[in-house]
Amino acid sequence: MRIRFQLITFMFLRAVLNTAHRMVYPFLPIFARGLGVDISTISLLMTGRSLVGALSPLFATVSDRRGRKFGMLLGASVFTLGVGLVAVYPNIFTLAAALILAVLGKYMFDPSMQAYFGDRIPYEQRGTALAVTEVAWSLAFIAGVPIAGFLIDRYGWSAPFPLFTILGLVIFFIVWRIVPGEDPHHEVTSNSREGYRAVFTSLPAMAGISIVMWASAGNELVNVIFGVWLEDSFGLKIAALAGASAVIGISELSGEGLVALTTDRLGKPLALTLGLVANAGAAILLPFIGQTQVGALIGLFLFYITFEYIMVSHIPLMTELVPTARATMLSINVTGHSIGRALGAFLAAIIYKEFGFLFVALLAVAFNIAGILALGRMRRHT
């Protein structure tokens, strides 16, 4: 019962972190106008955010060495500092710092939390359990981003940041209260190099990390550009963009529900294969059915439900590849995720401006195919 309560609690805590992370995407044109810069500048900031996220292995051993609770508290502290900067003095420089610090905090918090539950929940049940915490991604788009959109519409682009600062302090307090200080399920490690060595010398682990890198690159291509695409195609404004985000959130919630129902039954590798194939199909479909507002929203629904199925199936698989250095493994996995996002964010605006949305979708398909090839390599060596 205690584990179930904690899973649900962390779902809501992570929804706050994810809302701060995700709200930039649909409102990218609004952030650019509010700061007096062009879309490419904000896209570069997001590329930088993803590249900084790739540094997460530098902090990977904190949770393995100091404990899961310490890793989560440190992540919440760094997140709160980042969003607090914009709350105090909103400009392009504090926004850049907030994007960097918030993603660092998130990438300290998430692997520590996943390792915490990975220590406690048997592998055959882990897909369903971690799917509960991953509902935080969809909650961010269903509830968090529309709330942020309401605040931005009423009070300007920086309006959500004071709220995030307060919520960051709430996250710190709740983690401090509900996560035990003494942890009999995890034996702390004194040699961080052993954890890195165990991961980097494991061919299945490196292949598994490359899967999420390619899938995330394809997803970020659409993430960065969908708000601009919808505004350019249909003239959607803040409230409508927030509504589009809610549709994406519902699709992700559906994806998480599918994972909870099927991944442990099908087996993680097969579920991941199905997700990659389906996401490639949704990507190629998106520009063709996106000729109308309804078609575009249906296409985004299909694209995001399949990507969420990939991500939530992938995490429990990665928790067991190097169990002796679980948090380190998960943090380096975040690096693959971040490098993929950086690649997608860097390419998105360039390809959209030069060639249009069709070529954005085609490149997303190519990245998914690369992910399928990496999965095949991982299975051969596991």
Q: What's the average model confidence in pLDDT over 87-103?
A: 92
Segment 12-37, tens digit of pLDDT: 999 999 999 888 888 888 888 889 88
φ, ψ dihedrals at 149, nearest 5°: -60, -40
Q: Mean pLDDT highest for which of 60-64, 160-164, 313-317?
A: 160-164
Segment 99-150, tens digit of pLDDT: 999 988 988 898 888 888 878 888 777 777 777 888 888 888 888 988 998 9
Q: Alpha carbon of 22 to those of 88, 102, 266: distances in Å?
A: 21, 11, 30
Are the CB atoms for 67 and 183 separated by under 8 Å?
yes
Q: In the structure, what pLDDT confidence band is assigned to residue 360 with cuts at 50, 70 and 90?
A: very high
For domain 2-177+190-381, give the CATH number.
1.20.1250.20
Task: Indicate whether 190 pLDDT > 80.
Answer: no
DSSP 187: -
Q: How far apart are CA 127 and CA 114, in angstroms?
A: 11
pTM tops 0.95, yes or no: no
Per-residue model confidence (pLDDT) at position 61: 65
**Structural domain boundaries in the chain:** 2-177+190-381
| CA torsion, ordered 130, 134, 136, 140, to nearest 10 deg | 180
* Strand intervals (E) in the chain: none
Quick one: what percent of the chain has pLDDT higher than 90? 33
Q: What's the average model confidence in pLDDT over 314-325?
A: 80
Radius of gyration, alpha carbons of the chain: 19
Q: What's the average model confidence in pLDDT over 183-208?
A: 72
Q: How far apart are CA 48 and CA 351, in angstroms?
A: 18
Token pair for residue 372?
């399928």
